[in-house]
Chain A
């Protein structure tokens, strides 16, 4: 992780540094900065001018779209999760939307309760945001472990089937067990074009549709929670500022408009990831053992990404805490 220390003027958690960029990344940052300025400008003037509210909502939405286009941990977690676990696109979109709304809710709850009710200081708010952040990072690690275990087991099973099939392919016929009602193992040459009819007696690679059924709302909920638990600095600043100007509801509306924009971008990324995986599988021959293994490998790789990502974030945030405490 590039950012080991907490930023001196951090608002909530640390934002990722931008470092060296060019091309489309630069363009996105340009859009982000522009909408950020327009948005804060509209917020500043909306106290005097009621018609600024709609403008504010539109700008917040646009800002959310571009802000989410950059790699942040929320998008990375949702997208990796989708690649690792998800086949149903609609569900992925719901997950993206819920994560974005949760992110807005967390920011509103954090500022509303801490600043609005308990009137805490900036450091207390940063500390609370930091706790949330660490909890979210632990959640990512946990999600990574669960996904890796599930997907690793599925990969191992797929490999076992194929290896077994290959191993027995050149073996004497006595190893091939004919259909006897109990034992259904049979020699197979492992050729991808080998036909498996419904009445085929020998061993089947598990039907991907059945394996796809291992969707669990638990892991989806953890994904939503970890992706949405960390409020972004922009939202916190908008809310605190709106609160100081006695226009908290305006800030809340702006933040939720931002959430909607974020959901659209995260949803698109998740969609792209799922399509990329589908295309990869199609090219490797749908339903073939090879496609099965490649599919499983992609899933395991994505699960590993989630895990490593969580560990990296956790390590970085603890390193940062040590630096500020010392």
Chain B
């Protein structure tokens, strides 16, 4: 009955393996694709609106006498966020014709509290090499650890800024974890994901940018 002991040891090993989280933070993102004057994609600017709970967490202790927290007050947190984001590829995963696109450190970033008390993180992520999108520039925004659930903004998910004539974008994939939609979320949804699926990635919409 040694096998039983081994089984027990495996059971314990399984217990100690870090394996679980579910979204605690909800972000509604808007991703602008910025072109340079040669018609190449130069940067992606993200504006991430956090849910009311994380916003309350981020602004605690800030904002005097019921005022909104100022950009200056939020600057240290913005710095921490962006520095840690570097270790996670800024949760922004872009591909050009199937090859990973590298980003440099953000050229600017800020965190602010909107009048509706939601906190927005805005940052501009330059491509290491500005690139002509051609027909196959795509990107996704998601947290691989799935602590944060991202969804693209319903109304304006993406805007192409300074794009040459004829460029367009499309967004593929529903936003199953949009906060309203998630109320209908059931275990069936998760159970139906194929084995080995990576939640964050699986649930992320994909943005396609194409230029003539």
Those of A34-86 within 8 Å (CB) of chain B: 34, 36-38, 40-41, 44, 70-73, 75-76, 79-80, 83
Structural contact, B20 and A5, CB atoms closer than 8 A: no
Structural contact, B20 and A72, CB atoms closer than 8 A: yes
Place the interface of chain B in its size category.
35 or more
Structural contact, A16 and B21, CB atoms closer than 8 A: yes
Nearest CB of chain B from residue A163's CB, rounded to whole Å: 18
Identify which of B2, B16, B147 contacts A309 (C-beta below 8 A).
B16
Identify which of B53, B59, B194 contacts A238 (C-beta below 8 A).
B53
Q: Mark B158-186, 1 if CB is under 8 A from A, else 0.
A: 00000000000000000000010011011
Cα of A80 to Cα of B10 in the assembled complex, Å: 12
Chain B minimum-CB-distance residue to A298: B5
Q: Mark B48-64, 1 if CB is under 8 A from A, else 0.
A: 00101110111111100
Those of B122-170 within 8 Å (CB) of chain A: 144-148
Chain A minimum-CB-distance residue to B190: A30
Cα of A146 to Cα of B11 in the assembled complex, Å: 22
Structural contact, A37 and B183, CB atoms closer than 8 A: yes
Contact flag A276-B8 (CB < 8 Å), given A7-B145, A37-B182: yes
B contact residues around A191 at 8 Å (CB): none
Interface-centre pick from B61, B87, B146, B194 (highest chain A CB count, 10 A) = B61
Structural contact, A33 and B60, CB atoms closer than 8 A: no
Interface-centre pick from A36, A38, A70, A71 (highest chain B CB count, 10 A) = A71
Identify which of A1, A3, A302 contacts B12 (C-beta below 8 A).
A302
Structural contact, B52 and A241, CB atoms closer than 8 A: yes
Identify which of B80, B182, B195 contacts A23 (C-beta below 8 A).
B195
Contact flag A240-B2 (CB < 8 Å), given A16-B18, A30-B190, A37-B182: no
Q: List chain B positions with a Cβ less than 8 A from chain A.
A: 1-2, 4-5, 7-9, 11-25, 50, 52-54, 56-62, 76-77, 80-85, 87-88, 144-148, 179, 182-183, 185-191, 193-199
Q: List chain A positions with a Cβ less than 8 A from chain B.
A: 1-3, 5-11, 15-23, 25-34, 36-38, 40-41, 44, 70-73, 75-76, 79-80, 83, 115, 118-125, 233-234, 236-238, 240-241, 243-245, 269, 273, 276-277, 279-280, 283-284, 294, 297-298, 301-302, 305, 308-309, 312, 323-324
